[in-house]
Amino acid sequence: MELMSMRTLVGMGLGVAMAAGWIAPRALAAPVTGCAPAGHLSAYDAGERTTRAYDSEEFSVGTVNDNKPVVVAGAKCTQSYMIKDGVDPLSDLEIQSNYRDQLSKLGAQIVYTDDLDTIAKLVKNGRETWIKVYSEGTEIEVTVVDKVPLVDTLTAPSGLDYRLIGHMPGYVADTPTKRNFDKADFTVQQGEDTPTVSVEGALYDVGYMFDGDSPASDLAIQQNYRDALAKLGAQVLYTDDSNTTARLEHDGRTIWLKINSQVTEIEVTAIDEKPFAASIQPPTADAMKAALDKDGHVALYVNFDFNKATLRPDAKPVIDQVAALLKNDPALKLEVDGYTDNVGADDYNVKLSQARAASVVAALKADGADVARLSSNGFGPANPIADQSTAEGRAKNRRVELVKK
């Protein structure tokens, strides 16, 4: 048996390099020679080898009865091996023992073992490398991840790309679908739920197909697009291994984007949302007083910068009318309540609605109102007054309410 031969050779002082038919590891870039720094056993032929400039792998750390998963991202290599024709396969114990000995010689820390697996972490010259060896007698699979940061490679928008975001190198665009008015469904995260939101507006949908030898991983694709969206100031509303949903504002329009990837294929869908056209004029001070006397509250629609609490200049007429309302009724005390739609995380929306209500109070103070008669609060997506599943309904729910105290 090879394992016994190795022990005999070591005992004779002949060195590990000659033991067990072990072939020393070679450079990662060399074809079908394995994934550095792990070598391979001479009884096994190299099979399929996959490399990704950036991908992730889950590694177990601990013992069989007490372990935890650790996800490591970086340059990833996976190499499979198959027993040579006419050669008896080694036992899993023999395979794993050989790899553990080799990895220990390299200075790696063995962080997990079981009958079929060895996982090790090697830190050398400031570089962290994780190695996983899985065996089933006739087959061996070695996975190596060099922990390195992602290098963004997304191009600037051009050609058939959507006007705000580029594409991954090596991926060729198909003819886009363009419609002046259509709708698309976008998945969003709401607590534990992931509902879809239907958005109407100008549609742009473009697909890409990889044309080359080594496509990017879904992780690299999605992270590249997320980084680009972050630079645009987008609010990321949902992510999973192969999808990203985001919303941003550009040139006064709200734009929804979703990116779906399947390694060799990418689809980018964008909707320039049809703006909600408020058909009513800003309420007068008298109209607000009548509503407060009747219902105890009145809804106002004032515009803020996207995803911020900064009032836009077109909110000034509404602020002026509220200031006049307070001036005309010196005994009136109001609570200013902010609300959002249900897109995005609830805790984030509550904080945003609180900040927006406070901005309205600050604007009233600047307009000469007695802020001692005012308070503010925010409730996020609570208490909707319209259907959250439509663009018009969500626009109506994004409001500020004056509540009579």
191-208 pLDDT per residue, tens: 888 989 889 899 999 999
pTM above 0.85?
A: no
- Which amino acid is present at 274? K
CATH number at residue 383: 3.30.1330.60
Residues 122 and 215 in one domain: no
The mean pLDDT value for 216-239 works out to: 96
Q: Higher confidence at residue 214 or residue 144?
A: 144
Same domain, 120 and 17: yes
Residue 343 has pLDDT above 90, yes or no: no
Spatial strand order in the sheet of 109-113: 44-62, 67-83, 139-146, 127-135, 117-124, 109-113
Residue 253 confidence class, pLDDT cut points 50, 70, 90: confident
Q: 260: domain CATH number?
A: 3.30.310
Considering the domain architecture, whether residues 137 and 175 belong to the same structural domain is answered as: no
Determine the Cα–Cα distance for residues 217 and 279; give it in Å rounded to an integer. Answer: 48
- Residues 108-167 pLDDT 10s: 999 999 999 999 999 999 999 999 999 999 999 999 999 999 999 999 999 999 999 999
Q: Are 325 and 332 in contact (CB under 8 A)?
A: yes
Predicted pLDDT at 278? 52
Q: Which residues contact 41 (CB under 8 A, 6 or more apart)?
A: 2, 20, 21, 22, 23, 81, 90, 95, 98, 140
Q: Does the residue 241 lie in any domain?
A: yes
Cα–Cα distance measured from residue 288 to residue 167, given in angstroms and rounded to the nearest whole number? 50
In a domain, 187, yes or no: yes
Question: Residue 131: what residue type?
Answer: I
Q: Identify the pLDDT of residue 33.
A: 54
> 323 lies in a domain?
yes
| Structural domain span for residue 381 | 285-404
What is the pLDDT, as a whole number, of residue 93? 95
Tell me, yes or no, whether 151 lies in a domain. no
Residue 276 pLDDT exceeds 80:
no
List C-alpha distances in Å: 402 to 112, 314, 320, 343, 398.
61, 19, 14, 23, 14
Judge whether residue 224 has pLDDT over 70: yes
| pLDDT value of position 29 | 30
Average pLDDT, stretch 1-29? 36
In this prediction, residue 10 carries a pLDDT of: 30
The per-residue pLDDT for 8 is 30
If you ran DSSP here, which 8-state letter would residue 309 be given? -
Do 224 and 300 reside in the same domain of the chain? no
State the pLDDT at residue 241. 95
Question: Is residue 129 domain-shared with residue 16, that is, in the same domain?
Answer: yes
37-41, 63-67, 356-360: which range is least confident on average? 37-41
- Which range, 9-23, 169-183, 279-293, has the best average confidence (pLDDT)? 169-183
In the predicted model, is pLDDT for residue 3 greater than 50?
no
Higher pLDDT, 86 or 278: 86
**What is the per-residue pLDDT for 280?**
53
Pair 121, 194 in one domain:
no
pLDDT at 81 over 50: yes
- What's the confidence (pLDDT) of residue 277? 55
In this structure, what is the dihedral angle of CA atoms 240, 242, 245, 248, given to the nearest 10 degrees?
120
Same domain as 329, residue 269:
no
The pLDDT of residue 2 is above 50: no
Same-domain pairing of 265 and 326: no
In the chain, DSSP finds a helix count (H) and a strand count (E) of: 7, 19
Same domain, 7 and 136: yes
Which tokens in the block code for residue 352?
Answer: 């945003």
395 inside domain: yes
Phi, psi of 151 (to 5 degrees): -105, 115
Between 22 and 157, where is the model more confident?
Answer: 157
Measured CA to CA, the distance from residue 208 to residue 264 in angstroms comes to: 8
Last residue of a domain, one of 252, 273, 294: 273
The answer on 142 and 35 residing in a single domain is yes
Read off φ and ψ for residue 160, nearest 5 degrees: -90, 0
Listed residue (62, 61, 82, 78) closest to 70, CA to CA: 61
For residue 153, give the 3-state DSSP assignment. Answer: coil
Are residue 175 and residue 309 in the same domain, yes or no? no
The answer as to whether 257 is a domain residue is yes
59 touches 110 (CB < 8 A): no
Query: Worst-scoring range by mean pLDDT, 47-51, 115-119, 124-128, 310-314?
Result: 310-314
Burial track 295-310 (b if 16+ CB lie within 10 A, e otherwise): eeebbbbbebebeebe
> For residue 156, is it within any domain?
no
Within a domain: residue 161? no
352 and 326 in one domain?
A: yes
Single out the residue in 93, 112, 146 at which a domain terminates.
Answer: 146
Q: Is pLDDT above 70 for 87?
A: yes
**Mean pLDDT in the chain?**
88
Instruction: Tell me the average pLDDT across 215-225.
Output: 97
* Residues 29-54, mean pLDDT to the nearest whole number: 80
The predicted pLDDT at position 9 comes to 28
pLDDT at 303: 83
What separation in angstroms does the CA of 284 have from each of 168, 208, 244, 289, 323?
52, 52, 43, 9, 11
